Amino acid sequence: MGKGIAIGAVVIALGLLGGLYYATYMGKPQDRFAACRTSKIAGGSGSIGGPFTLIDGNGKTVTEKDVITGPTLIYFGYTFCPDVCPLDNSRNGAAVDILEKEGKMVTPVFISIDPKRDTPEAVREFAAAMHPRMIGLTGTPAQVKAASKAYHTYFKSHEGEGDEYYLVDHSTYTYLVLPKYGFVDFFTHEDSAEDIAKRTACYLDHS
């Protein structure tokens, strides 16, 4: 009888250990995109991105559900930007072209952080000059501020009284967003079109 109890105790113990192992190692949600990431995002990717309401190049009010209908590269900048914005957005367009040749359709999006000057027409013309499928968005100051806050971007206008040629300091990240997963990663000003295309392709292959 004692031997049977001992064996039973061992079986229970092994069962408990097995359950603990599963809960500790196997029960954790797996990061399906681990192979694609090159950096750890502070606060987790779930802290970046979210709903927004803006105005497109035709003057129509749109939300993130209207814009992010497939894999999307989002950039915050302004049309009067003398160098960084045109360079980054043309590079994003080049990355989109590389991906399209691989059969992967990605939409580039430009969101203005200078709503005073960037009318719907202005963002439409800027986006069209960068890539034929790029979507240009602007909005009211409150709408733009809310979208910028959702993506943790920074911008500061140096507008002076009567100064129509002011510059705007801003962050220069490009955000990769997938409809099913939301924001998944970002690219910096230093990343090339080839870098962006390669990493984006990885995310698409694992989605």
- Going residue by residue through the chain, which has 207 residues, state the pLDDT in tens, using 9 for 90 and above: 455 444 444 434 444 444 444 444 444 457 899 999 887 675 566 789 999 999 999 999 999 999 999 999 999 999 999 999 999 999 999 999 999 999 999 999 999 999 999 999 999 999 999 999 999 999 999 999 999 999 999 999 998 877 889 999 999 999 999 999 999 999 999 999 999 999 999 999 999
Fold of 45-206: Glutaredoxin (3.40.30)
Q: Which residue in the block uniquely carries the two structure tokens 């295309």?
A: 197
| Domains of the chain, residue spans | 1-30, 45-206
| Token code pair at residue 30 | 């797996």
CB 89 within 8 A of CB 109: no
CA separation for the pair 56, 61 (Å, rounded):
6
